[in-house]
Amino acid sequence: DAMVIQNPRYQVTQFGKPVTLSCSQTLNHNVMYWYQQKSSQAPKLLFHYYDKDFNNEADTPDNFQSRRPNTSFCFLDIRSPGLGDAAMYLCATSRPGPRSQETQYFGPGTRLLVL
Amino acid sequence: KQEVTQIPAALSVPEGENLVLNCSFTDSAIYNLQWFRQDPGKGLTSLLLIQSSQREQTSGRLNASLDKSSGRSTLYIAASQPGDSATYLCAVSGIGGSARQLTFGSGTQLTVLP
């Protein structure tokens, strides 16, 4: 089945130790997104790629970076995780079309714990 | 800046009851509104998408309505079942602001008691 896959599902890191989260998709969608969702809060968009074009949200901290080496894969790098970065990180994809019909397909998420 | 609010934050109902979840948004310039389901510790699953020109969408026991002029949407769940227990989030795709951004509400956590 076509899907969005995130690895690992759970990640424990130490304060200040760089960590990378991975997302892959078999949907062949042009757009890939990274969201941060803290407990009982709304998912917050960090950035997205439209093909190789990177689009950063204005309030995304510089501590968060992303790479998209090809259509299928996208990575989220947190350079120096702080305790406040503990959250669920959601990857999503979409296929551009009429904007009124466009939806996003989400992966299962990676829960990040910072010790 | 678009803001999306969902009330109530949590809801508990007995099995079999019909229920309504509410969503409001501040900017009516939207492409669409979507309802998602999120199970504990999991990602989001799209339930229904209502285009800005539409008034409602139905899928099985779910019916979502959209009143763009008043900035409101409702998700109606008929004959609720314990398997419906999850957090339900609404999200709008806004015409202004960051392209392709979905703005989410914080969700309504639904518990259906057997």
Nearest to B51 among A45, A90, A100 (CB): A100
Region B40-48 average pLDDT? 91
**3-state SS assignment for residue A100:** helix
Q: Greater confidence, B75 or B96?
A: B75
Predicted pLDDT at A98: 82
pLDDT computed for residue B42 by the predictor: 86
- Mean pLDDT for all residues in chain A: 93
Give tens-digit pLDDT for A64-105. 999 999 999 999 999 999 999 999 999 999 988 887 788 899
Label residue A56 exposed, middle or buried (CB < 10 Å: 0-12, 13-18, 19+). Answer: middle
Decide if A90 and B32 are in contact by the 8 Å CB cutoff: no
CB contact burial A79-114 (16+ within 10 A = b; e otherwise) = eebeeebbbbbbbbbbeeeeeeebbbbbbbbbbbeb
- DSSP for A16-63 reads T--EEEEEEESS--SEEEEEEE-TTS--EEEEEEETTEEEE-TT--TT
Q: Is the pLDDT of residue A1 over 70?
A: no
Is residue B41 predicted with pLDDT exceeding 90? no
Mutate to test the interface with B, among A9, A106, A112 (most CBs of B within 10 A): A106
In this predicted structure, what is the pLDDT of residue B96?
A: 64
Q: Classify strands A10-13 and A110-114 as parallel, antiparallel or unpaired.
A: parallel
Determine the residue of chain A that is closest to B109 in CA distance: A40
